[in-house]
């Protein structure tokens, strides 16, 4: 009996068909994967919103401070950032990292040779700094200067007149390089229209300037020209096809484009611009 084998032409046709099907299906798989990671990030934000409510219920309705000390003793031993304060309610370190941020995060292993991250306090402190969910701290945990020291004074949930229109958390990136995120996220997201210039003077729209929240690492502030810039949008970043997840103070999680996050604000570069409609502005606790 003579065995029949595939001819070379038949093999080429089969390979071409497989290649065409792969080219057609690959974008579908990519979109499905992106939708899956978006859903995970949104769910995590929902859990963090619930954890915030549990924290407030135990602290006389007060929201958590962005960190304990805004000016002095900023060490892993004495200071705590807000993710560390919510950890007892989440019990999961992974809850604070959006899986859509697939690029390099800092080494948080205890064997990190590039730093002194070799004890539990330092490890947790660094991890909390690089969460992908930035806290709207300037509005919800403002810092005030009194005498010779800074004080953090978180607002009470009941003081916020429009919780459904007030951002609690927004997705963040630490740094952008070549259009990609690197270094994890940032535990603070800075709002647009942070300053307004009138009559040659710079006016602080929020009434306070904290040395912690004005870190040089968070420049250059909000800008719609985000390509290859370091931490534009005050640290916020659109991981999901030009949109980002945001947790509102009432517990809802929404997906907004970056321009939609500046409504009510005549946005200028470097956090500048006038708030023209406080009812529509999403970052103000009042």
DSSP state of 141: S
Q: Closest Cα partner for 236 from 126, 103, 131?
A: 131
Residue pair 176/229 in contact (Cβ under 8 Å)? The answer is yes
Give the number of other Cβ atoms within 10 Å of residue 131's Cβ.
28
DSSP code for 217: G
What are the pLDDT digits (tens) for 145-178?
A: 666 666 778 899 988 999 999 999 999 988 877 7
pLDDT in tens, 6-60: 677 877 888 888 887 777 766 655 565 656 677 889 999 999 999 999 999 999 9
């Amino acid at each position: 009996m003579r065995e029949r084998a595939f001819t070379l032409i038949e093999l080429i046709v089969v390979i071409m068909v497989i290649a065409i099907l792969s080219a057609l299906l690959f974008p579908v798989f990519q979109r499905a994967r992106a939708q899956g990671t978006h859903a995970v990030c949104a769910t995590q934000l929902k859990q963090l919103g619930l954890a915030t409510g549990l924290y407030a219920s135990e602290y006389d309705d007060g929201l958590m401070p962005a960190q304990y000390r805004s000016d002095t003793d900023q060490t892993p031993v004495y200071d705590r950032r807000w993710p560390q304060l919510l950890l007892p309610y989440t019990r999961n370190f992974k809850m604070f990292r959006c899986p859509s941020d697939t690029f390099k995060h800092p080494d948080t292993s205890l064997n990190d040779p590039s730093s002194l991250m070799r004890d539990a306090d330092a490890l947790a402190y660094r991890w909390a700094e690089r969460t992908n969910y930035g806290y709207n701290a300037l509005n919800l945990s403002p810092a005030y200067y009194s005498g010779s020291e800074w004080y953090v004074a978180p607002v009470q949930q009941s003081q916020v007149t429009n919780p459904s229109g007030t951002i609690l958390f927004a997705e963040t990136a630490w740094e952008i390089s070549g259009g990609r995120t690197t270094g994890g996220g940032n535990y603070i997201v800075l709002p647009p229209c942070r300053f307004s210039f009138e009559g040659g003077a710079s006016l602080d729209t929020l009434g306070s300037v904290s040395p912690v929240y004005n870190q040089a690492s968070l420049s250059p502030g909000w800008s719609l020209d985000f390509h290859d810039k370091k931490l534009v949008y005050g640290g916020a970043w659109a991981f999901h096809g030009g949109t980002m997840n945001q947790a509102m103070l009432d517990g809802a999680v929404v997906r907004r484009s970056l321009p939609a996050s500046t409504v009510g604000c005549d946005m200028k570069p470097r956090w500048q611009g006038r708030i023209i409609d406080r009812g529509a502005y999403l970052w103000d606790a009042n």
